[in-house]
Chains A and B, each alone.
Chain A
Amino acid sequence: MVASDAPHDDWLTWAFSPTISAILVTLVISLLLPVLIHAYLYRQATGSSSGKDLPTFLLLGPSGAGKTTLLTLFANGTPSPTHTSQTPSTALCHLPASTRSHADRYRSANDDTLSHASQPKLLITDTPGHGKLRHHALASLTTSSPNTPALKGLLFVVDSAAVSSPAGLTETAEYLHDILLLLQKRHTQSKTSKDPQAIPVLVAANKQDVFTSLPAALVGLKLEEEIAKVRLTRSKGLLDSGVGMEGDEGADDQERNWLGRFGAKEFAFAQMGEHGVEVTVIGGNAKGEGGEEKEEESGRVEEWWAWIGENL
């Protein structure tokens, strides 16, 4: 008992004795500890979520529009072959050297200080487009938007060739309608007087290289027409289960579920402006003109990059 306690006592005695070394050690500890704790907490707060603070863009769109291909193109510079996605994925991208971000817009094109490394980084999140898996996209839109201001914009990818068929057009328009309605609700139902940060939408008319594709402007027009129809039948359709069954609200949310200006017959993307949603339609193609043989060749996406740069 005594034997085992002896070294222990020695150590304690030394710690409380008024020797120089003990005082120095105590001083070092008392000075370093707050610094270390601060460093640790700071790291916790910023370090782990440093990825989240990067500006984020969300890729949306029906299945087969080319979202994942676009993601790989943005991330690697060359598109990879892809199949139907089952899970969302995120990639870290650099703005290409040829594109200026919004902050750098007044810099000269010949400014040498803008090297590739200094170009801003951004995150692009790809979501599955399959009908059963769209809740991923909707969830990341609804949950992330209030607390993380990082979501800078949505890229709604559209297969320009598929919109020429009625079925493809309807599917695309319904999805776009849902997304825009969600953004509108986010704006109208915000509790604070300050508007939530605006999220612009880019309708990326993909696959412009395909022979049967429609030009971007026409894609936009067709989608507007179709959304008007979707909006009309949605407003006339049945209520969802749960609504009105518990006996609350009911008729008064008709206006809330109407996309764009209430009562307007035609729908135009410009109507979304009053809800802080700016919709742009730009054409491009993620894959090269070569078709199947030259899968590695990258397509024409500079304008989309430019849009991203503007909204950074």
Chain B
Amino acid sequence: MLDAFEILTTSGIVLWRRSYAPVPSSVVNSLVGDVFIEDRRPKDAQGQQQTSYKKDKYTLKWTSAKDLGVVFVAVYQSLLHLSWVDNLLTAVKALFTKDYGIELKKAHVTKLNTQPFDATFDALVRKLDTGSTRRQSEADSEGPIELTPPSSAASASEEAVDEPPPPPIPAPQFKKPAVSRKEQFEGTSTDATPVPTPDTSRPSTPASHILTAKSGPGKASRRSRKAQHTLTSAPASSGDESSAGRNKKTATKAKRRWDADGFAVEGEDEVLDYSAAADSQQEQGEREVDVEDVNASQMGSRTGKGQFVLKDLDDEVDAILASSKQQVKPDSTEGDAGLLGSATSRLTGLFRNVVGGKTLTKQDLIQPLQQMQNHLLEKNVAREAAARLCASVEADLLNQRTANFTSIDSTIRESMSKALTRILTPTSSLDLLRDVTTTISPPNPRPYVISIVGVNGVGKSTNLSKIAYFLLQNQFRVLVVAGDTFRSGAVEQLRVHVRNLSELSRREDVGKIELFEKGYGKDAATVARDAVTYATNTAGTEGNGMLFDVVLIDTAGRRHNDTRLMSSLTKFGQLANPDKIFMVGEALVGTDSVAQARNFAKEFVDTKGKLRNNGVGMDGFIISKCDTVGDMVGTLVSMVHATGIPVVFLGVGQHYGDLRGLNVGWAVDKLMK
């Protein structure tokens, strides 16, 4: 059963909401924060982005009307598997944009009178909600059907059940991966939707009385069904879910094709469509009786008038759903329009490109986006990150109008700068000095522990000594720990650094620094823990009763795909329990940066098996050797894109003082140059 349904604007105002059970507001807030703002979307097994988001015990599904800036969110309990929610979202989106689209486009809209939408929504839910109880009985009987050769048959039958009055719907499109679905919808939003039913048929206020009056028993019956469901469903539904997952897999597999450029084409699957349609019709034929049965019992409680109103809405919804399914077909035939027509449209397109005010279509965007992607690749951004940035820009610009006297290229550049700024800006900025000061100050003082990890030869020790120098300048007492007990010369290297730094600090009379080492061959995690204990030691009671304020732990460099070495990081993280873990990455490295960042981040789990720092793993990146790459600072983007961990420091030279914070504007300028 649905828990809540909300319609909100991108500016955060809830235009309309319906809640069946109290849902904490934080659930939707975290959807907005994680998915829309931080773009941290869960991925399924195939690496496709999902359209559902799980938070606490809820699952959220959403769709958005970009041109209006409206987001539709459905919330339900993760325990249930409600496949009809997708249909509900599509239908609500179409109906809502049709009714309120014009009002929403006006300036300064902060409130809409959405009272009449209550009735429409109730009717929609009543129509589309096939419940989850019936599904499981169907799921049981589905066993043999799944064995039939066409891969989409199983999902077809499922969907046929979900939709009592059957328009012959090509089934596999329901189970499409997220991205292609969205693309279809983009086209249908607002005015483009061909809705045959005239406006008058929509239930307006008088009719709504009837509906709301009737909603009492309807709700009750649903609730009872839910109760029944919860009694019996737990094991069955989980089985159902897994089978659905299987269907999804086969369906997507069968449909992907690759075009000349190496991109997956997901729109042109008519051959499959036809076979599936035939199949689903057969199946529907078999199932018709069953479906009518249940519907009749539902409708028995309704008055003639209520039924009539519903009937009209039914037609409309069917049309919407069917048209959203058929969106794919015109797309493929669009290419062979008349020669003359294409020539004139091209001319006006060129003109509009100069003057602006052009509505951007997919075709317009492909070429410049490809150029933009190449540009990013030249700046040393990993292909994966570049592709995702371009995809987000495309989603941002599709069906938008360019501003006056703005070409497509400059529009794309602007949008890309925005996307880069968003990806590089940290959610909360790191103020290292403040953190240190609060940690070592009275209530319960303890040394602040920083550890540095990274691949071999990226400059861990060098950056560690730069940080040490920075901390010394701020009058902190620093203990450097030689955690690299593996590579010969590592301890000696640190000793030289410490000697230099202590000489420097003696001259300037700031801070103090010492090396903590246990020689080679010891376990790094134990050394680190001992060092922290040593720093906390209250024997030398000066100041706040600790020997040192900051503990900097160097670690052995390790290849990120060496599982044996990497797994020891987990133990290290748990034993030393650093306040901050920074990973050093080279600006020179290219595509590999993504894998490096991911592999290192996933090693830092706490004892409960959860990634530290709110499920991100590490606290920041230090990008070294920035002075050697000039403009090609793409590594920044690649690493942040892969993990969502912000870049905190940049190494920009050979001296102890050559450490910088990240200025997002500077980085974006360099990348877009």
Contacts and interface: CB of A to CB of B under 8 A. Distances in A.
Interface of A: 51, 64, 68, 71-72, 75-76, 80-92, 123, 126, 128, 130-135, 166, 170-171, 174, 229-230, 233-234, 236-245
A132 B429 CA distance: 10
A83 B69 CA distance: 14
A132 B663 contact: no
Given A68-B11, A83-B12, A132-B37, A75 B110 contact: yes
Contacts of A236: 433, 473-474
B232 interface: no
B122 to A, nearest CB: 20
Interface stretch (B164-172, B208-216, B371-379, B419-427): B419-427
A128 B652 CA distance: 33
Nearest to A131: B427
Contact of A131 (B107, B425, B659): B425
A86 B36 contact: yes
Interface stretch (B25-33, B175-183, B561-569): B25-33
B662 interface: yes
Contacts of A170: 431, 434
B10 to A, nearest CB: 4
Contacts of B108: 75, 90-92, 123
B354 interface: no
B666 interface: yes
B626 interface: yes
A80 B9 contact: no
Contact of A72 (B10, B13, B32, B667): B13
Given A72-B111, A87-B11, A233-B437, A135 B425 contact: yes
A166 B438 contact: yes
25 contacts: A68-B12, A75-B108, A76-B110, A80-B13, A81-B14, A82-B8, A82-B12, A83-B12, A84-B33, A87-B69, A89-B9, A89-B11, A92-B108, A128-B11, A130-B37, A131-B425, A170-B434, A233-B431, A238-B649, A238-B659, A238-B660, A238-B661, A241-B626, A242-B660, A242-B663
Chain A contact residues: over half helix, strand or loop, or mixed? Answer: mixed
A80 B107 contact: no
B390 interface: no
Interface string B630-669: 0000000000000000000110100000011111011100
Contacts of B666: 240-242
A83 B428 contact: no
Interface of B: 6, 8-14, 17, 25, 28-29, 32-33, 36-38, 69, 107-108, 110-111, 421-422, 425-429, 431-434, 437-438, 470, 473-474, 626-627, 649-650, 652, 659-663, 665-667
Contacts of B438: 166
B443 to A, nearest CB: 10
Contacts of B652: 241, 245
* A-B interface, 3 closest residue pairs, ranked by CB to CB distance from nearest: A242-B666, A89-B11, A85-B12
Contacts of B29: 64, 83-84
A84 B32 contact: yes
Most buried by B among A84, A134, A237, A240: A84
A244 B670 CA distance: 15
Contact of B663 (A51, A75, A90, A243): A243
B464 to A, nearest CB: 15
Given A72-B110, A83-B14, A240 B425 contact: no
A171 B660 CA distance: 22
Nearest to A72: B110
A131 B652 CA distance: 26
Contacts of B665: 242
A89 B110 contact: yes
Given A86-B36, A131-B426, 19 more contacts: A71-B13, A75-B111, A80-B111, A83-B8, A83-B14, A84-B37, A88-B11, A123-B108, A131-B425, A131-B429, A230-B431, A234-B431, A236-B433, A236-B473, A237-B432, A238-B470, A240-B662, A241-B660, A245-B660
Nearest to B623: A241
Residue of B108, B422, B627, B665 with most partner-chain A CB within 10 A: B108
B14 A132 contact: no
A71 B108 CA distance: 11
Contacts of B38: 132
A83 B23 CA distance: 13
Contacts of B661: 237-241
Nearest to A239: B660
A130 B33 contact: yes
Contacts of A123: 108
Given A51-B107, A233-B437, A237-B433, A84 B422 contact: no
A92 B108 CA distance: 6
A170 B428 CA distance: 10
Contacts of B434: 170, 229-230, 233
Contact of A89 (B13, B32, B431): B13
A176 to B, nearest CB: 14
Nearest to B15: A80
Most buried by B among A64, A123, A234, A237: A237
Nearest to A243: B663
A240 B667 CA distance: 11
Contacts of A174: 429, 431
Q: Which of A80, A133, A241 has the most CB of B within 10 A?
A: A241
A229 to B, nearest CB: 7
Nearest to A51: B107
B474 A91 contact: no
A254 B132 CA distance: 65
B425 A132 contact: yes
Given A83-B32, A130-B427, A233-B437, A241 B662 contact: yes
A92 B106 CA distance: 12
| Max count, chain B CB within 10 A of own CB: residue among A90, A132, A244 | A132
A230 to B, nearest CB: 7
A241 B626 CA distance: 10
Contacts of B11: 68, 85-89, 126, 128
